[in-house]
Structure 1
Amino acid sequence: MKIWSIEGNTQKLDGGAMFGNAPRAMWTRWMQPDELNRIPLACRALLVQPVNGKTVLFDTGVGAFFDPKMRDRYGVVEERHVLLDSLAEAGFSHEDIDVVVLSHLHFDHAGGLLREYREGQPPELLFPNAIFLTSRPHWERANHPHARDRASFIPELPGLLEASGRLQFVDGGRSDILGDAVRFAYSDGHTPGMMLAEIHGPPGPDGKPHGGVVFCADLVPGRPWVHLPITMGYDRSPELLIDEKTAFLADKLERNVSLFLTHDPDIALVGLSRNERGRYEPVNETEKLSGRVLA
């Protein structure tokens, strides 16, 4: 298998919202805000080929579906659909994708499913040959959001996915269409039913897969969030998220699994270590993946 990091449209969001209850004096050591207190964020996807004979895209970034007013509100920088350009740079088009794995349906992870904004035209689904995978609990959340997170979802998207006839749900740790190379875990701290996909080779002597890459989605959106107490203001249950992250990072460190980061503005992939104080730290940072062989 080979892996590519596929850059999508970038955003600028309020630093205080992105770092929850962490004081500004702390988070500005990691990311410098602009004059509006916004920090730069990537919206990065992961492409893997072949997975059980399929070309698979994990998430699609924010895309360019917003109208100009909403694009400005949510700090989306580019007007064009950057994900499509990045796929082309890697030698693919959206028609080549066989499976799109959606960790969750917040607009900054699923908006790239839609064609770029055209005045007076309804939203249109891209990826005409892809099966769309997500979790059933999160699908329920997307269709019946809480008032607190309703703005994070695209109202038209569930209907478009259903109408495609190509929506499928992952139940448990495995999907038949992806086979044994991808296993799934779930997190509820950011949003109910968020899927965490781990792509790996054969299991080791202990029966567990070692090495490989895990798509962190919004459990660990970038390097600063490797620190256990750091959460986002967008997380529905910060204490639960910290508990989930504690178990998640311990497992990935033990099995030498690398972390794929969707929102880090500079780095796509990191390994993990723990310092003398027991704190997790990102190591072996990789800015971009261009067909790297997955060991």
Structure 2
Amino acid sequence: MMKNPMVTTIFFLSSILLLSGCGGSTSTTSVVVEIGNAAQKNAELDNARFETRYSMDSEAEPFDQSSEGVFVKTAESDYDWYQKTSFEGANTTEIAQIGGKQYQKISVPGQAETQWVEVSSTGFALQELLRSLFESEVVEAEIAESQVEDKGSSKEYKLTMSDAYADRIKARNVKEFQQNIDELKQNNEEALVIEEMETRLQEIEETNFQDVTITYEINEEDFLTAVHYESTVVPPDGESNTLITSFSLTEYNLSDTEDLLPQIAE
């Protein structure tokens, strides 16, 4: 089923990035296990508020995008969710997936308020949108260095990744992006859209990532509450930039969920 192009772009940015320990007693093996267990434990959450941020330090084309959202579990591994994304303080895009249907609303400053519109994509799972909070992709052999800091109510794990990690994630994203293009072709999407996606794929293939660090935060209840990626992006033109991507849970297991999701009239 075709995925919404806006969501696909957001997902790609979040997926592209996705240590001997301080104190002497925390091994790299135990760090990987603790992070993996915390990510799996997030599947136990009944609901949560979350935030994401993507920013690129580029003189030619700076980029800053933030979002806030919520999710509510409806069944095992199934969720209703909502996300509002702001693009550098200008346009906002709201996406909701409720009752197996996906909706979108785009607001432009100075224009009349728009209504929710059902879109063709209904297969974009919360676990894809927030993959880093539900699935650990850390492989011990790809960790160059690790640091663990006890902050009282939480632990912070800062991992410096090897080039092998960046290469593996890039290869995965190239494959997934190609699959998305194939789906667009199967759904007879407009040629202009496909051509734009193929141009983007070529950019992905020619872009490299260096000096990747990932910081995880696990709270005292053993939930993975934040993941922060930082890396140096080397695009085809050779001008390096800093890319920062973060995902965090701000509240969870709220007792009152009545007003968490938007009310969308059929």
Tell me, yes or no, whether TM beats 0.5: no
More helix by share: 2
Please tell me whether Structure 1 or Structure 2 has the larger radius of gyration of its CA atoms. 2
Does 1 or 2 have the higher relative contact order (CA < 8 Å, sep 6+)? Answer: 2
TM-score (norm 1): 0.26
TM-score (norm 2): 0.28
